[in-house]
Each structure stands twice: as C-alpha cells, then as structure tokens.
Structure 1
Amino acid sequence: MPALYLSHGAPPLADDPVWPGQLAARSAALPRPRAILMISAHWEEAPLALGATETVPLVYDFWGFPERYYQVRYGAPGAPALAESVRKLLRAPGTPVQDIPDRGLDHGAYVPLVEMFPDAGIPVLQVSMPTLDPQRLLEIGRRLAPLRDEGVLIVGSGFFTHNLAALRHAGGGVPGWSAEFDDWGQRALAAADVDALLDFEHKAPAGKLAHPRTEHFAPLFVALGAAEGDPVGGRSVIDGFWMGLAKRSVQFG
C-alpha cells in the first residue's frame, strides 16, 4: 500500500461541491486496504497511544456547527490485530505504548474516511502523535513502514496550511502566505527535499504563518517516513484551496 497525507477539512467538507469527489476518486485508485492506520492532527498524547480497537462513538471535537454535523456516524470495525502489530513495531525501552480503549475517531480521522470509504467496512485504528517534532515523527513512520506490506493504509491527516486566526483578518480569497507555503511545499515534495521539509518553519516562505503551531503539518512526516526509500516519491493527488487554506494531499509510494 502507499502512504497518504490528507488535508482533512472541517465537518462542512461534506457540503463542498468538489472536495468529496476528489477524496472518493483517490480511494477508488487505491487497492482496497486490509486496515487503515490513522494519525490525526487532533490527537496529541504522550506516550504514543492506541485508540479504540472496537467500534465506539466518534469524537465530535468541534464547536458551534449546525446540529447535523454531530449526527454523522462512522461505524468502522476496530482493528485489534493491527493494534498488536503497532505495539510490536513501536514499543521499545524508553518508548512505551499505551492503550486508551474508549477513544473514538476524531474529525481529522472520520471526516475524510466518510468520503473515501463510505461503507465503513475497513477496520480503522487511530494512534496519537506523541510529539510534534518532525524528525521523531519521521522515525515513527519508518518503524511503521512494514505494515504497508501487510495491506495497511497509513494515513497522516492534517491540513497543508492552517492558521485560522490569520484567516479571520484576511478577508476573502486565498491569502498570500497560504499560497506561498503551498507552492513551496509542492516543490519540496516533488524534489524529495526531506531536509527542507523537516526545517519548514525556517526554510519555507511564511512557514510560521502557515503553521503557527505545527500539529496540522506534523502528520505529513509519519507518512513520509513510512514510504522513505520507495522508488516513487511524494506526489500531489489533491490541490487547490478551501476557505483560504491549502487542501493539498500527497501520496507516497
């Protein structure tokens, strides 16, 4: 399986006239996964935590939206066998792995999955980000890479640019900082410039404005690490902007 970095949007993504179809087309172009391992910008927990391994309620981690967004359901099967594989790959002296069995999928996980695999028939396991350090996340991805040979789709779910506070003062359209970072990121990925990506806060134009906090870019490094050494590098499979933010999504491998 390849590894993916997805810009996941907010609950209103479902109402967009274009984006749901783009996500559906991406999933249709993939082999059907045996299971999905999801790393979302919306779950930071240290030490690294494994979420529910059976079907539990979703986490509606957003506020102020119409009631219908809180009625969305995604009853994907749990993935206990995948959880055990993740434990074996990641657990080591000084790097414990914990279980939080009642932690359901948050919107960074289920919002794109509803569009990509609407039948909810594929087992899903969400794991936390134990750090926002790109180099450490890259190493986690490297250690998870063997799962791809077992038919597991590894997905890092974030947003290619993410600064909601700056958007409130930008008016309509795409702000310059979002467009500049998106262009730089696309070129860095195409060139497989891992060093530049790891140091994006300093190397990218408007790096700290596009990501004043790095949690929405950080999942990229798990996917990147999981596919490191593949003959096929990162390629953009979705681009463009949504409410001023870059919705670029990338396939590795």
Structure 2
Amino acid sequence: MQTFTQPALFVSHGAPTLALEDSPTARFLDEFGRSQPRPAAVVVISAHWESARPLMATQAAPGTIHDFGGFPRALYSLRYPAQTTAPWLERVRAALSAGGFALEDDAARGLDHGAWTPLMRLYPEADVPVVNLSLPRNLDEAGLRAFGRALRPLRDENILILASGSYTHNLWQMQPDGSEPPAWAREFAGWVDARLLARQDEMLDDWLRQAPQARTNHPSDEHFLPLFIALGAASDGVAPTRIHDDWRYGGLSMALWRFD
C-alpha cells in the first residue's frame, strides 16, 4: 500500500452548522477530502476539549457530543460514527512519549463539534480512524509547538494532524452574515498571516502582546492555541499555505492553513 506524507491542518471550524450548510468553507472541506491522498488515520485536537494535562480518548467508537445550544434541531440528530483501534492509539502515544510528553487516558470522551464537524465534511463516511487528543492547558505556545513537533513523525506515516479552532473568535462582536470584516479582525489576521509566512514562530508565541487587537479577536485563547500544534508539526523552515479564506458574521475568520 502506498504511503503518503500528510500535512498538518489548522481548521477554523466556525459554527456547528458547518456540518449541514452549503458554504464556501463546507465546499472547500468536501473537495479537500475528496482530492487529497487519503490518510491512514487522523489525529484531531479541538479547542473544545481542554484539559490540565494531555489526554487521549480511548473509546473504540467515540460518541458524538452535541456541545452547543440554540441551533436547528437537525444538528442534534447528527452522529459521526468514528472508529479507532489500540494500534493507532499506541502509535500516537509512542510518538508523544518520544517527544517527552506523557498521555493520560480518557475512556469516556467522545468527539465534540470542533472535531466532528470538520471530520464530517472531510470524510463523511467516517471510514478513517480517528485519535482524539485534548488541548493541554499546562503548555504555553512554545510548549504546544513542541507537542506538535512530537506528532510530526506521524505525518510521514500517512497520518493527518487536524488542529481545530478559529483564526478569530469574538462571538460578542458578530454582525449579520455577509457583513464586511471589521478593521480589528483584518489587522489581527494580517499580522498572523505575515508571521506564519515568515516562520517567525517565537514572535507568534508572544501574540497576545504583539498582535494588534489580540484580545478583541480572542477574548479567550482556546480557539487560537491549536494553531501552535499545527505549526509545531510543520517541517522546519517550511512556510505554511493558507489554503482557504472566508469571513462569516463580520469578524469570524474561517481561514484554513496547511503545514507541510
């Protein structure tokens, strides 16, 4: 069987309606899943599963968590029947252990919407094994890059790294869908774009102090932090590619970045 080197992706997952809607981001993810070499497995890290230390979900058939409210009823009936097996779990555990990270097991955790909504668009048949990791809050930005660096060898084994969050994420400043992105969002996104393309990783680590309007774009940081795991999983010195860009509700960026 042919083996490919997979990228790491940072996906702005937006609202859970991404699973049902016809939108530029939904169509892009659909086409990306169809057109790219199929991974042997996906390691997913979502902004919606935070933990004090790194955790790995160990259910063979993780449930679908509907961790949201006030959305169309149809969303609550959706299920993403992902599967995994012990060999995939142990391969991820071994890679992180080699990088100096110990994983604790969570035998009950399912897939939250930050994980299953992009997976449903990428692999709608749920026929790619999924390993679900938490976003560890004991790591700062540099630590999360090191965590991603420990996952990097998996890419050469045809394993996709999927970091799911949001490039901008101020839900209190949303405008009617289709509104022009405000200056505070464009300024922040432009600053991050430039730092990523120049691989100024250490400057990115200090984004809260250096990026314009950082707290306006991220009143809390959990949706931005998965980006650092994807960045750490990139090959040294290789600039990422912004493979998709869209804006929803004014200042909600739907940017997707590919790290090779």
TM-score (normalizing by structure 1): 0.92
Match of 2:117 among 111, 114, 122: 111
Instruction: Identify the residue that residue 32 of structure 2 maps to in structure 1.
Output: 26
Counterpart-to-counterpart distance in 2, 1:29 and 1:190: 24
Q: In the TM superposition, what is the alpha-carbon distance from 1:92 to its structure 2 partner?
A: 7.6
Structure 2 counterpart of 1:4, one-letter code: L
Which residue number in structure 2 is paired with residue 8 of structure 1? 13
Does residue 116 of structure 2 align to residue 86 of structure 1? no
CA gap 1:46/1:96 in 2 versus in 1, 3 angstroms: farther
Cα deviations by residue, 1:74-113 (Å, 9 ceiling, x for unpaired) = 1121242221122223248995421112211110001011
- Distance in 1 (alpha carbons) for counterparts of 2:188 and 2:158: 33
Amino acid at match of 1:206: Q
Selected match of 2:209 from 202, 208, 232? 202
Distance, in Å, in 2 between the alignment partners of 1:69 and 1:227 is 34
After superposition, the CA RMSD in angstroms is 2.1
- 2:233 matched to which residue of 1? 226
Unmatched tracts of structure 2, length 5 or more: 1-5
TM-score calculated relative to the size of structure 2: 0.90
What residue number does 1:240 align with?
Answer: 246
Task: Kindly provide the amino acid, as one letter, of the partner of residue 10 in structure 2.
Answer: Y
1:177-196 matched pairs, under 5 angstroms:
177-196=184-203
Alpha-carbon distance in 2 for matches of 1:77, 1:104: 11
Matched length: 251
Distance (Å, rounded) in 2 between the aligned partners of 1:93 and 1:119: 33
Determine whether 1:161 maps to 2:139. Answer: no
Please say which of residues 97-106 and 50-59 is displaced more in the overlay: 50-59
Alignment of 1:96-107 (within 5 A): 96-107=102-113
Pair 1:42-2:48 in alignment: yes
Q: Indicate if the aligned counterparts of 2:99 and 2:147 stay in contact, CA closer than 8 A.
A: no
Q: 1:217 aligns with which of 224, 243, 253?
A: 224
**Aligned-residue offset at 1:27:** 2.3
- Give the aligned residue type for 1:42: H
CA distance in 1, matches of 2:23, 2:226: 26
The answer on whether the counterparts of 2:98 and 2:150 sit within 8 Å (CA) in structure 1 is no
Distance 1:95 1:2 in 2: 21
Secondary structure, aligned partner of 1:215: coil
Identity rate, percent: 41
| Letter of the structure 2 residue corresponding to residue 124 of structure 1 | V
Identify if the C-alpha distance between structure 1 residues 94 and 147 changes in structure 2 by more than 3 Å, giving closer, same or farther: closer
Aligned-partner residue type, residue 205 of structure 1 = P
SS in 2 for 1:125: strand
1:119-158 mapped onto 2 (5 Å cutoff): 119-131=125-137, 133-158=140-165
The structural deviation recorded for 1:26 is: 2.2
Equivalent residue number for residue 3 of structure 2: none
